[in-house]
Every structure is written in C-alpha cells, then in structure tokens.
A and B are shown apart, each in its own frame.
Chain A
Amino acid sequence: NAGVTQTPKFRVLKTGQSMTLLCAQDMNHEYMYWYRQDPGMGLRLIHYSVGEGTTAKGEVPDGYNVSRLKKQNFLLGLESAAPSQTSVYFCASSPTSGGVETQYFGPGTRLLVL
C-alpha cells in the first residue's frame, strides 16, 4: 500500500515551459487535492476533485489546470510556467469531504521556474 505518490520529485523549468505533475493514490479515496507550499505561508489549495471526472477551483487556481480521468490519479498542469510558480506542490487525498476527514499527503514535488 503505497498511499499517495507524486512524480516527479523535483523539476527545473524555464519560464514559458509546460509540465504535468502526477498524483496517484491507492486508497480508493474519492477526494483529491493539489496544494502549494511557500515559505512563510500556509498550504494553499490550488484545485481539488470530489470524484472521477470532476474538478473545482481552490484558493489559487490561476495558471494551473487539473484533470481527474481516473479515480486514482489527479494531474496538475502548468501550461506556461512563471517564476511565481516556484514552490513545493503537495497532493493529498481523503475518503470523502462531505464531512470531516483526514487528508493524506504525498511526498511533494519541488518545482523551480527560472
């Protein structure tokens, strides 16, 4: 049982390049989340998904897109990377969020945009 996994672990991009971050979970969780974590700030929600085929915007969605084609995978895309998107990105999942549920986090992806 791997829990939540993320690929890649680290990436360097040039401004304007695109990339996709992959999150996978093997816990059969319905809800999945993408956060970014920056120094001196709390985790901020980018997008989330309440189930296969559905996505919704979080607090800071601009510049990102997501897809949830399979229940176990949640992809985060950057179409044209900017230096302001340099951050550590965490994926999380929870059984549901129709009530109170603990979120389980992946190990993170460190992204540097030059």
Chain B
Amino acid sequence: GQNIDQPTEMTATEGAIVQINCTYQTSGFNGLFWYQQHAGEAPTFLSYNVLDGLEEKGRFSSFLSRSKGYSYLLLKELQMKDSASYLCAYMDSNYQLIWGAGTKLIIKP
C-alpha cells in the first residue's frame, strides 16, 4: 500500500493541546496536506507544508521535516467542535494526493 501512517485514534481534553503525527515514505514529494473531516461530512482543507518548519494558522499549526518524512498537526485550546478525523496526505511526483487513513480525535469535557 501507500507508505503513510498516522495514529488511528486520540483523546484529549477541552482546552488542552494535542499533536497528531504523520509519517510517510516517498521518493517524489510535492508537499504535505492536512484536512479535517467531521463525521458524515466532506474533508476540508486545513494546511499545506512544502518547506521544513512550522506553519501557524490561528489555533492550528502544522510542522514538516522532509528529511525525516514526518509532519504533525498541533491543535491548541481544544474546543468540542474540534472532535473530528484529521487526514494527512502527501502530494507525489505526479501531483496526486496519497492519503493516510485518518486520526479520529475525541475531545472530552
């Protein structure tokens, strides 16, 4: 199969911080995407990284290390509405997205 992995499920507390990791292996790489998907809904774009480092966007940040084949999505000040699945995907040399299976994030009060 495609070489991209992320944890199946994570649990966090409202108001806390959570980090969702994603690792990948590929010879052709054109960036790493994170999408959010609420149950029964469409995936929606969160972030894109193509260079190493941290991209911050409000409560959400995404990090990329190309040499390590590693990315993480950091969610701060968690809210109940952040309960969703978070999908990472890398763009291969043909500009096609290769998707991880998603991490289901459960937020507890």
Binding site for B on A (CB under 8 A): 4, 40-45, 48, 58, 90, 97-100, 102-108
Contact = CB atoms under 8 A, between A and B. Distances in A.
B42 A40 contact: no
Given A41-B101, A42-B101, A97-B95, A106 B42 contact: yes
B31 interface: yes
Interface of B: 2, 4, 8, 30-31, 33, 40-45, 48, 50, 87, 89, 91, 95-102
Given A40-B101, A41-B101, A99 B95 contact: yes
Contacts of A102: 33, 45, 48
A42 B42 contact: no
A42 B100 contact: yes
Tell me the interface secondary structure of chain A in the complex. Answer: loop
A97 B91 CA distance: 10
Nearest to B8: A40
A103 to B, nearest CB: 7
Identify the interface centre among B4, B33, B102: most chain A CB within 10 Å of its CB.
Answer: B102
Given A42-B87, A58-B96, A100-B91, 16 more contacts: A40-B101, A41-B101, A42-B89, A42-B101, A43-B43, A43-B99, A44-B99, A45-B97, A90-B43, A97-B96, A100-B30, A102-B33, A102-B48, A103-B97, A107-B42, A108-B42
